[in-house]
Amino acid sequence: MRYLDGVALAKLKNLRLDLGRLATEGHSTGRHRSLFKGLSHDFAQHRAYVPGDEIRAIDWKVYARQDRFFVREYKAENILTTHVLVDASGSMAFCAGGRLPKWEHACRLAMAMSYLILAKGDAVGLALFDTAPRELIPPRASFSHLELIDAALAARAPEGETDLSVVLERMAARIKRRSLVILISDLLGEPERIMKVVKAFQARRHEVLVLQVLDPQEREFDYRGPTVFEGLEGRRELFCEADALRGLYRDEFERCLKAYEATFHRCEISYAAAYTNVPWDLNLSRFLTRLA
C-alpha cells in the first residue's frame, strides 16, 4: 500500500485512538455504548414486564419483594461507524519550500486514522470530495478494507474548485446513522459558513474530529517583491506586491485560525492544525493526545 507501508505501520505501533466515550447506533456487537438497550454485562435499568418479553429476563428478586414482574435491561455495545472525509480540491496540491503537497500529508493522516479505527475493531469508510462527494467507500470493519481506501487515495490527484460548506451539507445528508466523522481539509473558504456546517454534523449527534492540513507558507506568506500568484482552483492569475500585502494577509490568516479554534473548542469539537513541515506521525500523535 502506498500510504500504509511498513515504515508507517511502525510509527503507528504505539499510537492509540480513544473512542470509548462515544455512544453509537447499530446492531453489531462491539465495544461502544449503544443508544439502545440490549444484552451485555452492564445493568441499565428495570422496566415492567410486558407479554412477549423473555422469561429469563425477569428479575425474580424484585418479584419476591414487590410481587410484580420486572425485566432487567442492559446497555448494549456496538461497533462504531466512522466516515473519513478528505478534501481533494485543487488547493490541497499546494506545497512550498521543497515540502510534499498538503494532499500527501492528508492521505497519510487518513490512512493512519483508518488503521487505528480498525485496530479497535470498529468500521471505517472514506469519502473524497471537491465540488461534490466523489469516491465513496462504505464503512467496513475489516483490515482488508484498508487496501480499498489506500487505492482510492493513490488514484486521486487534488484538482478543481470546491465550496466546502456546500459539500459538507451534502455529506451530512448522506450519513444517517450516528457516527464518528473525521474531516481532513485545509478549510480554506469562508470560516463562518464552514463552521456552521461542521456544527450541523454535531447537531445530528455525530462526533466530529477536524484536522486542518496547512503548509507553513500559507501562514507566513514569505514572498518578496512583485509576485504572480496562480490559482490552484480556477487557474486565475493575480499580480501583486507581496511586501505590501504581507501584514494584512497574516492578520487575516490568524483571524481565521483563531475563529476555527474558538468555535470548535466552544462546541467541544476536537480540532488541530497539521503543518506539512512537521512529520505526519508527530502531528497525529499530538492530536490523539488531545483526545485522551
What is the tens place of the pLDDT at every residue in 177-197?
889 999 999 998 888 888 888
Instruction: Please name the residues in contact with 74: beta carbons below 8 A apart, sequence gap of 6 or more.
Output: 37, 38, 39, 40, 41, 42, 43, 44
What architecture (CATH level 2) is domain 6-22+80-291?
Answer: 3-Layer(aba) Sandwich (3.40)
Exposed, middle or buried, 195 (CB in 10 Å: 0-12/13-18/19+)?
buried
* Sequence ranges of the domains in the chain: 6-22+80-291, 28-78
What is the tens place of the pLDDT at every residue in 98-130?
999 999 999 999 999 999 999 988 999 999 998
What is the tens place of the pLDDT at every residue in 233-264?
666 788 989 899 999 999 999 999 999 999 99
